[in-house]
Structure 1
Amino acid sequence: MKIFFELGNSRLKAACVVNNSYEFLGAVDKSLIEDGQFLEVLQLNNLEQVTNIYFCSVASADKTALLIEQIKQSFKCYPTELTSQPSCCGIKSGYDQFNLLGVDRWMSILGASIDASNPVMIVSVGTAMTIDAVIDTKHLGGFIVPGLSLMRRSLSLNTAGLDCYDEPTEQKELKLMATNTENAILGGTLYMAGSYINAVIRDLENETGRKFDCIGTGGDFLSIEPLLDKSFSYVEDLTLIGMLKVAESF
C-alpha cells in the first residue's frame, strides 16, 4: 500500500493505492494532525503493509514537522516529500524560479495536464485562489489572489461595523442584489471571483488563439462554478492525482 498526503493551508487530504487501485480518502481540518485524529477519521489507523508514504506541504514548518512525526510514529517509516521541480513527467514549469511555485499548484498542474491533449486551465479555490495554464506541456504561469474566506475576513477585520461578521457554515441561496450585509459580502465576493476567472480565461484564449479545457479544484470552487461562463470538470483530489503521477515516474 502507498499513502499520499497533501497538507494545505486549511486542510489535510489523503489518498491511497492498494493493488494498483487508487482511492481518494477525503479531507480533514489540519488541526486534527496534532493528536493524530486524522488517522482515524481517514481510516488510516491500524494499517499494515504500508510500503511508501508521500507528502507535500504548503503549511508552516511546525505543522509539516508535526505531520512527519505522526507518520513516523504510526507507520514506522519516513515519508518522501514531493516538491516543485523544473520539469516532471514531460511538463515544464513556467516559473522563473521553479522552487518558488507552490507545490500544491505544481502537483495540480501535473494532475491536470500530464495526459491532456488540449490546453488546460486549472482553477483552485481554497484559502488562496490560483489560476494556472498549460499549453503543449509548457506551464505558462498563473495568478494568485485571496480566496473567498480571505476576502470576507478582510472586510470583517478592516471595515467599521463588520467586526461581528461570521463565515456561514452553509452556502445560502442568494438574490442577485443583497438586502443585508452578510449576503452583500457573500454575493459580492462570489461575483468578484467569478468575473475574475471568466476574464482571465477569455483574455488568455484570445491571446493564444487556443481553447482551454478547464478543471476546477479546491474546497470553495463549487460555490463559484455557477457564475463561470465555461464548463469545468471538478476534481477534488487533483493535487493527490498529481502526486501519484510523480510517484509512478520514479
Structure 2
Amino acid sequence: MHDLALILELDVGNTAIKWRRLNGAVILDSGRIANELEGLKELVGAGVCLVRVASVAFAEREAELRALLVGAKVKYEFAVSQAECAGVKNGYDDVSRMGVDRWLAMLAAYNSCRDACVIIDAGTALTIDAVGKDGQHHGGYILPGAGLALRALEQSTGRVRFGIAESADTGLGKNTDACVHNGKWLGLVGAVKLALYEAEKQIGRHYKVLVTGGDGMNVKQLAGEYAESWHYSRDLVLDGLALALAKA
C-alpha cells in the first residue's frame, strides 16, 4: 500500500497509549504501549504523513508529545471536545471541561448506530454517557475505575491488604483478597446498572449500549444476561478521531 496515506492515531491516557496505523481508512496494525513516549518514536518515523491524537494525559506529558511530533516534522492534529459534531450535541455548558476521550467515544458510538445509546468506558476511570436518538448528550457519570479503587483502599486503610486477583468475579468473598477484588467489580457493574436505569428517564427504554476500555469486557461479562445485547468495541475513542477532525 502507498505510504503517502499512512496515518497514525493515538489514544494517550494516563497509564498507557493505544495506537493504530491506517492507510486511508484501512487499519493496518495496532497496539498498546506503556505511557513512555520513547516507544512512539519508531511509529512516528515509519513513513507516517499525519498523526491524529486524543489525549487526556497530564499537561507536561502532552507538551512532551507535541515536542516529539514537532521534532519528527510530521503533521499532527489534536482532537478537542466540541459543542456539536457529526450529529452529536454536547450536553456540557462548558464543553472544554469534557474529556476528549468521552467526546470521541460518543461520536463513534452514535454514528455507528444512529440511535439512542449509552457509552460505557471502563479504563482508569469508569465513564458513562447517555445520548438520545436525536444526538443530544444528556449527561453522564465519572467514577474511579478498578485500578483506582484498589489504590484508594491500599493507600487509605491500614489493615486492608490484598494480592493480585486470579479472575474477575462478583461473588461473595471468603478472604480479604476475594472481598477486595470481587468488591471492585461489584461496584463497577452495580454502578453501570443503576446508571442505565437513570439514563432511561432521559433517553427512553429503547437504546444501544456500547462498551469500551481496558476493563470493558470484564464489566460486560460480569453483568451476565443483563448485558447480552451490549456491544463491545475496543477502539471507540480512536474511531471518533476521524469524525472530530473531519474538515467541514
Alpha-carbon contact 1:68-1:78 (below 8 Å) kept: no
Structure 1 counterpart of 2:40 = 38
Q: Residue 248 of structure 1 aligns to which amino acid in structure 2?
A: A
- Classify 1:137/1:174 alpha carbon distance in 2 versus 1 (closer, same or farther; 3 Å): closer
Q: Residue 158 of structure 2 aligns to which amino acid in structure 1?
A: A
- CA RMSD for the aligned pairs? 2.0
**Take 1:58 and 1:175, find their aligned partners in 2: how far apart are those partners?**
30
- Range that drifts further, 201-210 or 147-156: 201-210
1:1-54 alpha-carbon deviations (Å, 9 max, x no partner): 122112112111112220431345122121x21xx22344xxx26412x32212
1:75-125 alpha-carbon deviations (Å, 9 max, x no partner): x12421110111112211011111111111001111111242321110011
Q: Residue 211 of structure 1 aligns to which amino acid in structure 2?
A: H
Does structure 1 residue 5 correspond to structure 2 residue 6? no
Alpha-carbon contact 2:118-2:128 (below 8 Å) kept: yes
TM-score (ref. length: structure 2): 0.88
Alpha-carbon contact 2:10-2:20 (below 8 Å) kept: yes
| Runs of 5+ unmatched residues, structure 1 | none
1:42-57 to 2 correspondences below 5 Å: 44=43, 46-48=45-47, 50-57=48-55
Q: Residue 122 of structure 1 aligns to which amino acid in structure 2?
A: I
- How far is 1:249 from its partner? 4.2
TM-score (ref. length: structure 1): 0.87
1:40-189 to 2 correspondences below 5 Å: 40=42, 44=43, 46-48=45-47, 50-74=48-72, 76-135=73-132, 136-162=134-160, 164-166=161-163, 168=164, 171-172=166-167, 174=169, 176-189=171-184
Residue 65 of structure 1 aligns to a residue whose secondary structure is helix
Identity %: 28
1:176-229 alpha-carbon deviations (Å, 9 max, x no partner): 221211111100111111111011112322554332200111111122222322
- Classify 1:174/1:242 alpha carbon distance in 2 versus 1 (closer, same or farther; 3 Å): closer
Residue 112 of structure 1 aligns to a residue whose secondary structure is helix
Alpha-carbon contact 2:127-2:140 (below 8 Å) kept: yes
**Take 1:117 and 1:45, find their aligned partners in 2: how far apart are those partners?**
34
1:153-193 alpha-carbon deviations (Å, 9 max, x no partner): 1111111213x545x3x642647221211111100111111
| Runs of 5+ unmatched residues, structure 2 | 1-5
- Classify 1:247/1:208 alpha carbon distance in 2 versus 1 (closer, same or farther; 3 Å): closer
Alpha-carbon contact 1:84-1:101 (below 8 Å) kept: yes
Structure 2 counterpart of 1:224 = 219
**Take 1:194 and 1:87, find their aligned partners in 2: how far apart are those partners?**
30
